[in-house]
Structure 1
Amino acid sequence: MSFETVTITMMKGFMLNIQLFVITLVLSLPLGLVVSFGTMSKFKPLSWLVRLYVYIMRSTPLMLQLAVVYYLPGILSPGHILPRMTAASVAFVLNYAAYFSEIFRGGIQGVPRGQQEAGQVLGMTRRQIFFQVTLLQVVKRIVPPMGNEIITLVKDTSLSNFIMVGEIIKLAKDFGNKGMIWPLFYAGFFFLVFNGVVTLLLSRTEKKLDYFRV
């Protein structure tokens, strides 16, 4: 098999990694914020239920979650199996929303309560206090830990090959079974470049927020 053919095949597989990365990030960030509100809810049954979800997602392997999401629908309703990419997206979003929720929760609770009380004294509503006082400081606080999770997500997309999603690592392994070992190093290069771009974007974002120190 020619170098050009392998390259094109690997790039097509890597597009699935990028697609899974984008879907997970776009959906898990807002879901994580909602989940963080649930964990901080004063309604105890809701808080306990959401905390249980976060505990399960953070305490079990992502590969196990992938297997459950992919195989469980077929077990409950024979013949109804989720497409592999859909199952991977659902598992990743649920998993990363749990991690992001804890980062959001830590950021929100880390804002001094005195600033919220000052907002109330000035006659601001809770919504105004959150968006104009709390949220700005939360964003600054969560960028570094959020960046670490996002970089981890780049690498974790390769775990989707556990349910046979045709991403770049699975393709590299398939080539390896044919006696071609170099595609594995090729896959590593793709991840190095992708992570380099993500790291650069995160670094620039952090620098833009330097003006707002907490």
Structure 2
Amino acid sequence: MTSVQISKLAAGTVSTIELTLISIVLGMILALVIAFMSIGRNKILKGIAWIYTWVFRGTPLLLQIMVVYFAIPLMVKQMVGSPLNFEPFTAAIIALTLNTAAYTSEIFRAGIQSIDKGQMEAAKALGMTYSQAMFKVIIPQTVSRVIPPFANEFIMILKDTSLVSTIGMADLMRVSKQFAASGDWSYYFVAGGIYLVLTSVCIVLFQRLEKKTSRYI
């Protein structure tokens, strides 16, 4: 393996990590909004949240990436006459964020609803508003409960970033495929080893986080 190949593999690995972290952070923000919409009393907002999760959990991530990168620009061109082109990285972020938000919102919703209703009633009895009770009482207790399923979602997104190679994104998977195309099959195992290292690090970090947060329950 030459220094150039090592450099490209490293760059591809960095791109994979960037895609994962950015998508997860943006996805968490959107997921919280969707989760609150789904547990609220407004039927319209609940309906929108349900449709959103139904669509993005019910269709393949690869299709969602293709729609963002290929279909949406063509749709915009047909409607307004000029295409709305996305860079591969931007399209990948959008698709991964929308996808992970759908799954993470269900994790948050289930975690919030698993807290005994008496907690909210007690908080309101102390004079707290709904928002204060949610962010000072309910959410802190929810954190430790959602860490295990959220860790699984994080790892799934990390691995699913390999799908962005289909739109020309120079991630770890695409770089490995390019090198393996020369006939050296070992690059597939190199990529697999790197993914294993990344996921193992995530597992250890989330296990430590879970133990730390469980002390305050």
Question: 2-side partners of 1:59 and 1:3: how far apart?
Answer: 43
Query: What is the alpha-carbon distance in structure 2 between the residues aligned to residue 86 and residue 200 of structure 1?
Result: 29
What secondary structure, in the 3-state scheme, does the structure 1 residue paired with 2:142 have? Answer: helix
Residue deviations 1:91-117, cap 9 Å, x none?
000000010000000011111101111
1:3 Cα offset (Å): 2.7
Q: Aligned residue for 2:114?
A: 110
Q: Counterpart of 1:137? A: 141
Structure 1: 5+ residue runs without aligned partners?
A: none
1:31-61 C-alpha deviation (Å, 9 max, x unpaired)? 1011111112211122112210110000000
1:95 aligns with 2:99: yes
SS at match of 2:183: coil
Question: Residue 154 of structure 1 is aligned with which of 144, 151, 158?
Answer: 158
Contact 1:107-1:138 within 8 A present in 2 as well: yes
Partners of 1:41 and 1:62 lie apart in 2 by 28
Say yes or no: does 1:128 pair with 2:127.
Answer: no
CA distance in 1, matches of 2:55, 2:174: 27
Q: AA paired with 1:45?
A: I
How many residue pairs match? The answer is 212
* Equivalent residue letter for 1:25: I
Query: 2:63: which partner in 1?
Result: 64
Who is 1:35 aligned against? 34
Contact preservation (8 Å) 1:73, 1:82? no
1:50 corresponding residue in structure 2: 49
Structure-1 residue corresponding to 2:187: 183
After superposition, the CA RMSD in angstroms is 1.2
Q: Quick check: 1:140–1:212 contact (8 Å CA) kept in 2?
A: no
1:74 CA displacement? 2.4
CA distance in 1, matches of 2:89, 2:53: 23
Post-superposition shift, 1:202?
0.4
TM-score, normalisation: structure 1: 0.95
Query: What is residue 12 of structure 1 aligned with on the other side?
Result: 11
Matched letter for residue 4 of structure 1? S
Q: Which amino acid aligns with 1:35?
A: I
Q: Which amino acid aligns with 1:113?
A: K
In the alignment, the residues of structure 1 paired with residue 41 and residue 50 of structure 2 have an alpha-carbon distance, to the nearest angstrom, of 13
State percent identity of aligned pairs: 37
Give, in whole Å, the separation in 1 of the partners of 2:73 and 2:120.
49
TM normalised by structure 2 equals 0.93
* Structure 2 unaligned spans of 5+: none
